[in-house]
């Protein structure tokens, strides 16, 4: 049953005056306060996305990351009943649980705009962003009122199944002299919720190892193609893994790392070839080439690839299959990255490239 919060003001004569609760003007006020200061929910949260669109067209109010690298979904009740918003946040969690580092970077880039997730994380928590993020996720339902039935559902999920879900209730009180007070309560005490989550039956599987992905490529009949592609490109990119891909990332001038290529061994076959995914705008920026020129160098079986359904061309690209004759063409293309680096250096420090003066 929801706990009733009552507040009394103690005056100078030691008399008590009860502070009456008043309704918040609008749920939007809570959202405004949280965006301004997310520590209202927890000091260990960093907002990385607002109105984040899911793959099924719904919008998550706020997406946060905590100091352990776990994602936290924050959903405000607004005009929905508390039980409706609880069902909705569980639906969002079914999508968030599969977000990899690349997707999270794309979401945070849109929200942070001028900064990077790594820099924002370092500034907020004073530590480096963990190498593996989103191994776990949590859900917070935020409202000015939570009914008893919803609190029973949330407690049942937390206590019985270790689901990391909680409700945060903000109540508004007005003093006789016109002062305003905001009181926060949790359905499940945060320490208890953390303990319950640790007891859940199982954890998400970690990213695939490089050996597992190479074996998957060999099993698909593209092991040699996979190794040749990796050897040809790893001089120009850093590599990492998700549960299904080997990705190739490049460092941008602002210090961020962005995925450019990815290989998908599990979607490959000896008949079709080695499955690849490419953010063509990112590669064209690295090469200082028109994007159309980059796309023209790709295998002819290419097709448009839009994984995040974003309006930004940076988050779109092409996908297809690589065969033996394509490897060298791609390697020759990425070799131009060195030329691109020279161009960047020339633009940033032209004095270093001045020709020697006569007689020098």
Q: Where are the domains of the chain?
A: 17-198, 210-347
- Runs of H (alpha helix) within the chain: 27-36, 82-96, 101-112, 117-125, 148-161, 190-198, 210-219, 223-233, 280-287, 291-296, 324-334, 337-348
Q: Has residue 283 got a pLDDT over 70?
A: yes
Residue 353's pLDDT is what? 46
pLDDT tens string 89-99: 999 999 999 89
* H or E segment to which residue 9 belongs: strand 7-10
Residue 202: pLDDT band with limits 50, 70, 90: low
Q: How many CA atoms lie within 13 A of 26 on its CB side?
A: 4
Q: How far is CA 302 from the centre of its chain?
A: 27
Nearest residue to 131 (alpha-carbon basis) of 156, 101, 155: 101
| CA proximity to 140, closest of 105, 106, 93, 108 | 93
The predicted structure's pLDDT at residue 60: 94
Q: Which residue has the tokens 């953010």?
A: 279
Look up tokens 């490109």; give the residue.
233
pTM of the predicted model as reported, rounded to 2 decimal places: 0.64
Which pLDDT value is given to residue 356?
56
Contact between 170 and 183 under an 8 Å Cβ cutoff? The reply is yes
CB 117 within 8 A of CB 5: no
User: What's the confidence (pLDDT) of residue 194?
Assistant: 85
- Residues 17-48: tens digit of each pLDDT: 787 776 555 667 888 899 999 999 999 999 99
Neighbours of 321 (CB within 10 A): 21
Q: How many CB atoms lie within 10 A of CB 4?
A: 8
How does residue 271 score in pLDDT terms, banded at 50, 70 and 90?
very high
| 103 vs 274: CA distance, rounded Å | 22
Which of 320, 195, 328 has the alpha carbon at shortest distance from 263? 320
Give me 124's structure tokens: 């907020």
Q: What is the pLDDT of residue 84?
A: 83
Domain 17-198 has CATH 3.40.1350.10: yes
3 state DSSP class of 66: strand
pLDDT over threshold 90, residue 302: yes
The number of angstroms, rounded, from the C-alpha of 6 to the middle of its chain's C-alpha atoms is 39
pLDDT for res 351: 55
């Amino acid at each position: 049953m929801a706990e009733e919060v009552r507040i009394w003001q103690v005056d100078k004569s030691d008399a008590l005056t009860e502070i009456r609760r008043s309704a918040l003007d609008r749920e939007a006020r809570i959202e405004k306060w949280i965006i301004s200061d997310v520590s209202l929910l927890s000091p260990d949260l960093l907002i990385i996305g607002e109105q984040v669109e899911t793959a099924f067209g719904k919008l998550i109010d706020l997406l946060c990351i905590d100091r352990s690298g776990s994602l936290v979904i924050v959903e405000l009740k607004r005009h929905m009943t508390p039980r409706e918003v609880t069902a909705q946040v569980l639906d969002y969690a079914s999508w968030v649980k599969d977000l990899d580092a690349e997707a999270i970077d794309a979401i945070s880039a849109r929200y942070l705009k001028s900064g990077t997730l790594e820099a924002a994380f370092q500034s907020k928590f004073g530590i480096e962003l963990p190498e593996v993020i989103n191994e776990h996720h949590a859900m917070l339902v935020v409202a000015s009122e939570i009914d008893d039935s919803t609190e029973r559902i949330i407690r049942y999920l937390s206590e019985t199944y270790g689901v990391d879900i909680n409700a945060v209730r903000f109540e508004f009180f007005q003093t006789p002299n016109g002062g305003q007070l905001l009181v926060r309560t949790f359905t499940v005490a945060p320490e208890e919720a953390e303990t319950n989550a640790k007891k859940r039956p199982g954890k998400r599987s970690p990213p695939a190892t490089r050996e597992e992905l190479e074996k998957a490529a060999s099993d698909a009949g593209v092991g040699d193609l996979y190794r040749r592609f990796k050897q040809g490109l790893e001089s120009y990119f850093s590599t990492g893994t998700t549960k299904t891909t080997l990705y190739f990332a490049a460092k941008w001038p602002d210090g961020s790392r962005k995925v450019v290529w990815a290989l998908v061994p599990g979607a490959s076959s000896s008949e079709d070839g080695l499955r690849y995914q490419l953010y063509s705008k990112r590669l064209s920026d690295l090469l200082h080439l028109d994007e159309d020129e980059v796309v023209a160098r790709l295998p002819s079986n290419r097709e448009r690839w839009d994984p995040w359904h974003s309006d930004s061309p940076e988050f779109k690209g092409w996908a297809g299959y690589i065969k033996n004759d394509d490897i060298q063409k791609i390697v020759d293309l990425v070799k131009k990255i060195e030329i691109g680096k020279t161009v960047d250096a020339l633009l940033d420090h032209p004095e270093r490239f001045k020709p020697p003066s006569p007689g020098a």
